[in-house]
């Protein structure tokens, strides 16, 4: 089981309030969500770099029919 780390972070009150309103969550969940988005951003960058470089063997019609 992975243990969580307790951290202290100084955040401008306005930024925290905006983030909490946007997430609809408390402080802890808002910070976790923000960290997850930052971590995922590198994956999005790598995926965007593949744009136009991946060839699919199935057509979009075949993919829709496979639902």
What is the pLDDT at residue 50?
A: 87
Tokens 């402080």 label which residue?
A: 27
What is the pLDDT at residue 33?
A: 95
Average pLDDT over residues 36-62: 87
**Residue 47 pLDDT more than 90?**
no
Tell me the pLDDT tens digit for each residue of 1-45. Answer: 688 899 999 999 999 999 999 999 999 999 999 999 999 998 888
Query: Are the C-beta atoms of residues 27 and 18 closer than 8 Å to each other?
Result: no
């Amino acid at each position: 089981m992975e243990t969580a780390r307790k951290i202290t972070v100084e955040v401008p009150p306005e930024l925290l309030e905006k983030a909490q309103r946007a997430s609809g969550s408390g402080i802890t969940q808002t910070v976790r969500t923000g960290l997850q988005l930052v971590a995922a951003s590198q994956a999005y960058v790598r995926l965007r770099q593949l744009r136009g470089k991946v060839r699919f063997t199935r057509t979009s019609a075949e993919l829709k029919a496979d639902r």
